[in-house]
Structure 1
Amino acid sequence: MNSSVDFKDIFNQIEEYRSHINKLHNLEDILLIGIIGVISDAETWDQMFLVCKIKRDF
């Protein structure tokens, strides 16, 4: 049994509701930053950004 999960495939199944004008960042990136931030106990977007910036190479 392969327990490997490809988050990009899962995130690509989520429907995009933003207009093309509001797409500064990829939805997949936003979702992954949110998940990493929650796991890291970040409470604000700034903290989530900082955690991801520190763990970028990880």
Structure 2
Amino acid sequence: MQKFYFFLSMIIIVLSLIWLLYFRKNGLEFTLVICAMMIAIVNILTLIWITNKRKKP
């Protein structure tokens, strides 16, 4: 299940970067894309932290 969420977060980050590169960069859409990217990054960091915490005895 963690791999699914990791993959989903990576897709969100990639789509956000594509949007930032090719579409207009102002207004509410820009704010929502930045927020989605930050949430995806926090999600990936949390998954890495949980995985590392489980590996330790």
> What TM-score comes out, normalization by structure 2 length?
0.31
Point out the structure with the larger helix share. 2
Higher relative contact order (CA 8 A, sep 6+): 2
Larger-Rg structure:
2
> What TM-score comes out, normalization by structure 1 length?
0.31
